[in-house]
Amino acid sequence: MKFKTSSIIAILAVFLCIIAGSFVIFQKNAEPGDNSINDSNYGSEIIFGVIKSIEVADGNYKLLINNSNGEYVVNVPESVDIKFPEIYEGDNISVGGLVEINYSGIMTRSFPPILTASSVLYYPPEFVTSGKVTEIDFVNDYKRFLVEGENSLCYVSVTKDTLVSGDLNNVKINSTVTYSSIIQLMSYPGQCGAIHFIVH
């Protein structure tokens, strides 16, 4: 009788452990409700794009950005510091600049989608160029594009370190692209490595 009782208790204990384990697994993988977000259950993801509009209220920024996938609304809480490249002496953001956003990976299903930034890196308009591709080749196994902007002509290399929005294979002659770069060689055409590259 003692053996049967202890066996039943052991079986019940195993059964309860299975139920508890299943609850933890499903609870962790469950999607949060519309008004409930727990960032600790999600990794950090990066999205970037060119700023189309800026709204400021009580120290909070609301940015409308655009990349190859369309438009996004980015809420930047007052507690989030906006960082700038070291060689940039300004401390304001403006339309036409490019932002690199870290966020939880969660965005709304609205149009445009809305997300909240946990960190922001800003590149001013003078570091951002849009233009048409006039030539495509390869240098050191990386694609290089000759991009003619409004007031520039530059060979732009897209390397393994470049953040790309869109498919490079879709870039053809006369395609419109946008890239960010801080340092360009003073040759003509110029030469640079893209930090960000957006295929339109």
Q: Is 41-123's fold the same as 127-199's?
A: yes
Q: Are the C-beta atoms of 98 and 180 separated by less than 8 Å?
A: yes
88-128 per-position pLDDT tens digit:
888 899 999 999 999 999 999 999 999 999 999 999 999 99
Q: What is the pLDDT of residue 90?
A: 85
Task: Give the pLDDT confidence of 39-91 residue by residue, as tens digits.
Answer: 334 558 999 999 999 999 999 999 999 999 999 999 999 999 999 998 888 88
pLDDT of 43 reads: 59
CATH class held by domain 127-199 = mainly beta
Contact 187, 172 (CB under 8 A): no
* pTM of structure: 0.77
Residue whose token pair is 């709304």: 108
The architecture (CATH level 2) of 41-123 comes to: Beta Barrel (2.40)
Hunting for tokens 């039943």 — which residue is that? 8
Domain ranges across the chain: 1-30, 41-123, 127-199
